[in-house]
Amino acid sequence: MKKLIVTSLLILSVLACKKKELSPEGPTDVRIRNKSDLTFQNVIVSTSEKTGDTVTIGTIPNGSTSDYFRFTKAYPKAEISAMINVNGSPVKFSTGSVSNTYMQYIGRDRITYEVYISNMTNKELSISDVIEDEALVLK
């Protein structure tokens, strides 16, 4: 009797398991919000190692948000660089390179990276938040 119950439970547990359907990797629409007091010029965003996931956005005034740009795949961290006017001279600031090896991709969403200057001396930018604005509906 015990064997029958154990076998039944084992069969039911195996049958109850079903493979979860993975969500698509992308595309993802990304925009940048400048949370600093200075204007970002020549902003370049790279969301993954894939070719085509690097976009030049242009200028984003302080406190403003760029338009959305389409990327084939995006992660919670991105490599973002910008030229910032410091004492009358343009200086390149960057978040630095990012390894997406163990990160979960965002999927089909519209997101906003909120970026600020984290260290003026070392010319570092940081992403303070990644806001998922809405699901991306492809037509």
139 CB burial (10 A radius; 0-12, 13-18, 19+): exposed
Task: List the domain range (segments joined by +) for residue 111.
Answer: 20-135
What span, in angstroms and rounded, lies between the C-alpha atoms of 70 and 136? 10
Q: Is the dihedral of CA 74, 55, 65, 60 positive or negative?
A: positive
Determine, yes or no, domain membership for 117: yes
Strand partners, 31: 112
Flag whether 51 is in a domain. yes
Q: Is residue 15 part of a domain?
A: no
CATH number for 25: 2.60.40.2890
Q: Give the model confidence (pLDDT) of 4-35 as tens digits.
A: 776 776 776 766 665 545 567 889 999 999 99
d(C-alpha 56, C-alpha 62), whole Å: 18
Of the ranges 8-12, 44-48, 80-84, 123-127, which one carries the lowest mean pLDDT score?
A: 8-12
Identify whether 66 is part of a domain: yes
Whether 1 maps to a domain, the answer reads no
Q: Is residue 49 part of a domain?
A: yes
